A = this chain, B = another copy of it.
Amino acid sequence: MYSERMMCPALEKRIMSAAEAASFISSGMTLGMSGFSTGAPKAIPLEIVKPGNVRDLTVIQGAGLGLLDELALSGAVSRYCAFQWSRNMRSAINAGKVAFSDIHLGQLADKIRGGTFGKIDYAIIECARINEDGGIVPSISLGVSNVLLECADKVLLEINKAVPAEIEGMHDVYKNDLRPLDGVLERKGEPVFRCDLNKIAGIVITDEEEPKLSFRDTNEVYQDIAKQVLSLLDSEIREKRLPQEFTLQAGVGGVANAVLQGLSEGGYKGLNMFTEVLADGALGFIGSGVISEASTTALDLSPKGLKTFFGNIDFYKEHIVLRPLEVSNGVSQITAMGLVAMNTALEADIYGNINSTNAIGMKMLNGIGGSNDFCRSAKLSIFITPSTAKNGAISSIVPMVSHVDSTEHDVDIIATEYGYADLRGKSPKERAAEIIENCAHPYYRQPLRDYYSGAVALCGPCQTPHDLSKALSWHQRFIETGSMKQD
């Protein structure tokens, strides 16, 4: 039974139960876990945080999903990094129960190597198989697993039989050498992790499904934003600023899917993706030839998407390569790819600064993720957002953002369902007009014009007009009244 998945004789005696593996962990340790949403260990962590076992753990993971809910609820984790997509972890972070340093995902590997989190006591890594020579076949995400295996004192492995061993060959594992890739599918490394076998303290065999991912359905607003993005892309191609077969980075979700759908309907073929996460939608577009090559660090698939993927794994191997996060989000690779980067803003201000993380400047949502890795180095950087939130009570275009994750220097385009603002080469005063007139919801345009003209009248000669007594007053009004509306 095990021999099909654990083929390395030298490691046979390290097979154990999840509870035995968990017993190595003690309070105060720093644990690195595989997983970029998917591909996280599923058995050992839950044993570790069982009541009374341990406390004060530091957990490092590329991007945490389902598992984080359990870890946060256990109270055993006091520090976490990096991206999180978990209601309970978010609550624990905002409550101050878990200390959270929000970093650029593209830099996580180097920060681990550079000692930002101190010594990594244990790496806990999900994999699909251990080969005869000790090569470890990764699961359906890579993230920072290669770095954790490199840096951790000891290693615990979970071989998840729910992941077909035929996934071997889809990954390209190597330490980022910063040299730009020649193409989206170029391979420089090995299909497996290598790790000093003496560090492997335990191997647990599991057969566990991924937590159920579901993505928001598309809606009219998303489709209207997508239309704006498509009109921009058409114009860029017409003006020869972008090749017909360009390379796209896009987050997961409704707008990205609607853009891909639009490209598909517009007859686009042979596009490339160089991105952080591929979701269900992208699989379909690979199948139909809209996307021909895709590079990612993770497959964020719903149960249905996973079934499609696992059922056609040889086909997808020809079109998808899974890379370490330090490569998928590496600034030299992103620069070399000449990417169109499309990321979601929580809010944007009239001068082009972007808040991606802190609602009303204070409450952490998920973290910055790779959004600034991509937008800072892309050839064309687009931020998208519906023009309002909470049924119009919040304007996504504000006088001044309440927190800045990507600065006015990083952003080329802001698009909402009403239009897009092209900020390239423009001064702040020129940007304000573009953003207010093209992007803001019609209801909020006059208040934004009033803010801007009031600021101009008040501030004297200056590059970036503001009335600092009112710059954050829209947010303050929302806190006090539940709406940014003035009446």
Which A residues lie at the B interface, using CB under 8 A? 81, 91, 93-96, 99-104, 110-111, 114-117, 177-180, 239, 241, 331-332, 335-336, 353, 358, 360-364, 368, 372, 376-377, 379, 402-410, 424-427, 429-430, 459, 461-466, 468-469, 471-472, 475-476, 479
Contacts and interface: CB of A to CB of B under 8 A. Distances in A.
A210 B462 CA distance: 30
Contacts of A99: 426-427, 429-430
Majority SS of interface residues in chain A? loop
A377 B326 CA distance: 13
Given A103-B409, A372-B409, A464 B364 contact: yes
Given A101-B425, A425-B111, A468 B472 contact: yes
A241 B116 CA distance: 10
Given A363-B463, A468-B479, 15 more contacts: A81-B425, A93-B427, A101-B425, A101-B426, A104-B410, A114-B241, A115-B241, A116-B424, A177-B180, A332-B332, A361-B471, A364-B463, A403-B464, A468-B475, A471-B472
B463 A101 contact: no
A125 to B, nearest CB: 22
A338 to B, nearest CB: 9
Nearest to A60: B425
B425 A91 contact: no
A95 B427 CA distance: 12
A402 B468 contact: yes
A404 B411 CA distance: 13
Most chain B CB atoms below 10 A, which of A96, A100, A463: A463
Q: Which of A91, A96, A363, A427 has the most CB of B within 10 A?
A: A427
Contacts of A241: 114-115
Which interface residue of A239, A424, A429 has the most chain B CB atoms within 10 A?
A: A424
Contacts of A111: 424-425
Contacts of A466: 361-362, 402
Contacts of A179: 178-180
A60 to B, nearest CB: 10
Q: Give the copy number.
A: 2
A463 B93 contact: yes
Nearest to A472: B468
Nearest to A357: B463
Nearest to A430: B99
Contacts of A336: 178
A476 B472 contact: no
B462 A364 contact: yes
A331 B329 CA distance: 13
A228 to B, nearest CB: 20
A463 B365 CA distance: 9
Nearest to A372: B409
Contacts of A407: 372, 404-407
A235 to B, nearest CB: 12
Given A115-B241, A332-B332, A336-B178, A100 B461 contact: no
Q: Which 10 A-B pairs have the closest CB atoms?
A: A332-B332, A364-B463, A404-B404, A362-B462, A99-B427, A95-B461, A94-B461, A468-B472, A116-B425, A178-B180
Given A332-B178, A404-B407, A427-B101, A96 B461 contact: yes
22 contacts: A81-B425, A100-B463, A101-B425, A102-B463, A103-B409, A111-B424, A114-B379, A117-B425, A178-B179, A178-B332, A179-B179, A331-B335, A360-B468, A361-B464, A361-B468, A362-B462, A362-B463, A364-B464, A403-B464, A405-B407, A407-B407, A472-B472
Contacts of A465: 362
Contacts of A408: 102
User: Which among A111, A114, A405, A468 has the highest number of chain B CB atoms within 10 Å?
Assistant: A468
B409 A104 contact: yes
B405 A462 contact: no
A91 B409 CA distance: 21
A91 B464 CA distance: 13
A12 to B, nearest CB: 37
A114 B363 CA distance: 38
Contact of A463 (B178, B358, B468): B358
Contacts of A410: 104
Contacts of A110: 379
A371 to B, nearest CB: 10
A368 B100 contact: no
Contacts of A177: 180
Contacts of A331: 331-332, 335, 377
